[in-house]
Amino acid sequence: MTVSPNRSIAIIGVGSTMSRSLALWLASVGWNIALVSRSENSLSKIADEVKAAQTNADAKVIYRTADAGNPDSLTSTLDWCAQQLGGKLDVLNYNAARVAPSHITKLTPEELNLDLQVSAVGTLVAGQWFTRNANTDNISKGEWPLFLVTGGTLDREPQIACSSLCAAKAASQSLSRLFAQALPQEAQIVVGMPLIRASIVDPETGGYTEGYHPDTIIHTVFKPFFEDREKLQGGVDNWTVEQLEDYALSQTPPVSIHDAARTISRLCLSANLSVLSLSPFKNFEGHNSPLEERLDRARNWLEIAACLKAKDLQVPSQFFTGNSSGDWTQMVGDLQALSDLAASYSVGIAYEAVAWGTYIDTWEESLRVVQDVNRGNFGLCLDSFHVAARVWGDNTVESGIREDADLDLRKSLDRFVETCPLDKIFYVQLSDGEKFVPLLRPGHRF
C-alpha cells in the first residue's frame, strides 16, 4: 500500500539517523514536514536535504529550534508548527532524548532529572498537545491521526552504561502505552511505538550496525504505521501499538516477516519442535466493517501461519462492542468464510470463548458456534482461564471465587466431556489469573 501525499507531520528531536531518514522518506511521498531540534546548525543542514528530496512542489519543509524538555518551549514550538502547516497535524513523531553515558553508581539526580524532562515530560506534553491539534477530518474514510513515539527495549533490557537514558525511556514508553489506552476513545488518535533493539551506530566502527541502516528501519518498522493508520475503516480494535521486528531487521540483507517465519519454522524443526498455533487474530466475526476487508487482513495472518507451519490460527470471540453486531447468522457466516479461506492455506481455526466476549463468553456458546460453522478445520481452543473466569472466579468479592465455585466448575467440565466431540477440541490452553487488587468496581481500569 502507498501512503497518501499532502499530509502533515512534526518530528520532535531530529537527528542524523532515524528522524532524518523518516523525513527524507516522507518528503519523497509529498508530505508537509516540520523539523524540531535543539541544534540550529545540524537542523538547517537536515532541512536542506529534506527540501531537496521533496517531490511535491506545494509541500512545506520548515524547521525551528526548541528545548523538548521545557514544556513552554515545546508547546509554543508545536503551536508554531501547526500554524505553519495549516492548523492541524496528521502525525506527531516524538523522538527527543538525551543520549550520554551514565553509569548507575555515578549517575547524579540532576542528570536523571534532565533526561526525564526530555524523554518523559516531553512525551507527556507532546501527547496532550496532540489531543487538541490532531487532524480528525478523515476518520470517516478510515484515516486516523497518529502519535508516533520512537523507542527501543531499554525499558526491558536496561544497560548499566546508559542508566539515566534507560530510566527516562522506561518512563516515556509507559506514558506512551497509557496514551495508547486513552487516546483512541478520548481523542480519536492512534498511538504507535516503533521499537528498535540494537544500537543504530556501531560504537567500534562508527558506521551503522549491520542490518540496522536507518533507511531499512524506516521502511520495515515505521512505514507500516503510516500505511495502517489509513486502513481503519472498521475501527481501531486491530491496531498494533508496538512494532518490534528484531529478527527480520538483524538479517543481512533484511528479510520480510514471512521469510523470518520460514526461518523460525526451520529452527523449530531442527530442535524437534512444532508450532501449534499463531495467536491471536481478534475481533473478526460480527464486525461491521466489510467482510472482504477483514478477510484481506486474515490472509496476511494465514500466510505467516503457513510459513511457520503452524497447525492453527487462534481466534478469540468478538469483544469489541463499538462497531460489531451479535447477529448469529452474520457471525457464523463470517467464521465460515474465514474457515474456507484458512483451508486454502491448510490451516485450522481454533475458536476461543474469552470471558469478556461481547456475545460469546462460555464454552457452551463457543461449541454451538463450532457446530453451526460446521467446517472440518474449525474447532475449539479451550482456555482454562476463561472457563474458570465464568463459573469459578469472581473479582468483585474479597475471596476471589463464587459461591459453590468448585461444584459449579466440576459440573461444567462434566458437561463439556459429555457434549463436546473429541475431534472438535483442537487444543487446551492452560492459563492462570490473579485476584484484582483493588476489587473490580465501577471505575476500575478493567
Q: Classify strands 242-243 and 277-278 as parallel, antiparallel or unpaired.
A: unpaired
pLDDT score of 432: 82
29 is a domain residue: yes
445 is a domain residue: no
pLDDT score of 156: 77
pLDDT score of 440: 78
Q: What CATH number is attached to the domain comprising 133?
A: 3.40.50.720
134 is a domain residue: yes
Instruction: At 66, list the grid cell.
Output: 526548541
pLDDT score of 240: 85
Pair 242, 283 in one domain: no
Q: How many other β-carbons are positioned within 10 Å of the β-carbon of residue 87? A: 10
444 is a domain residue: no
pLDDT in tens, 159-171: 888 899 999 999 9
380 is a domain residue: yes
Do 147 and 188 meet the contact criterion of CB atoms below 8 Å apart?
no
Residue numbers of the domain that contains 314: 275-429
Burial class (CB in 10 A: 0-12, 13-18, 19+), 157: exposed
Q: What CATH number is attached to the domain comprising 305?
A: 3.20.20.150
The kind and range of the H/E element at 217 are helix 214-217
Do 366 and 423 meet the contact criterion of CB atoms below 8 Å apart?
no
Instruction: At 40, list the grid cell.
Output: 540550529
Pair 383, 418 in one domain: yes
Burial class (CB in 10 A: 0-12, 13-18, 19+), 204: exposed
Encoded amino acid at 427, one letter: Y
Q: How many other β-carbons are positioned within 10 Å of the β-carbon of residue 217? A: 25
Pair 295, 399 in one domain: yes
Do 358 and 283 meet the contact criterion of CB atoms below 8 Å apart?
no
Pair 228, 358 in one domain: no
3 state DSSP class of 417: helix
Cα separation, 349 vs 336, whole angstroms: 10
443 is a domain residue: no
Q: How many CA atoms lie within 13 A of 346 on its CB side?
A: 5
Pair 222, 287 in one domain: no
Grid cell 523518516 is found at 22
The model scores a pTM over 0.75? no
Q: How many other β-carbons are positioned within 10 Å of the β-carbon of residue 141? A: 11
pLDDT score of 19: 92
Cα separation, 345 vs 172, whole angstroms: 41
Pair 210, 320 in one domain: no
For the beta sheet containing 378-383, the strands, ordered from the edge strand earlier in sequence to the opposite edge, are: 277-278, 312-316, 348-352, 378-383, 425-429
| Number of domains into which the chain is organized | 2
Pair 245, 282 in one domain: no
The kind and range of the H/E element at 26 are helix 18-28
82 is a domain residue: yes
258 is a domain residue: no
Pair 292, 228 in one domain: no
Cα separation, 9 vs 63, whole angstroms: 12
Question: Measured in Å, how far apart are the chain's first and last C-alpha atoms?
Answer: 35
Per-residue pLDDT of the chain (446 residues; tens, 9 = 90+): 579 999 999 999 998 888 999 999 999 999 999 999 988 878 999 999 999 999 999 999 999 999 999 999 999 999 999 999 999 999 999 999 888 888 999 999 999 999 999 999 999 999 999 999 999 999 999 999 999 999 877 777 788 888 999 999 999 999 999 999 999 999 999 999 988 766 665 555 555 555 567 887 888 889 989 999 998 988 888 788 887 655 555 555 556 778 888 888 988 988 889 999 998 788 899 998 889 989 988 998 999 999 999 999 999 999 876 778 899 999 999 999 999 999 999 999 999 999 989 999 999 999 999 999 999 999 999 999 999 999 998 888 888 899 999 999 999 999 999 999 999 999 999 988 877 778 877 876 65
Pair 120, 186 in one domain: yes
Pair 51, 148 in one domain: yes
Distances (CA, A) of 151 to 18, 44, 65, 347: 11, 24, 22, 35
Pair 236, 280 in one domain: no
Pair 205, 311 in one domain: no
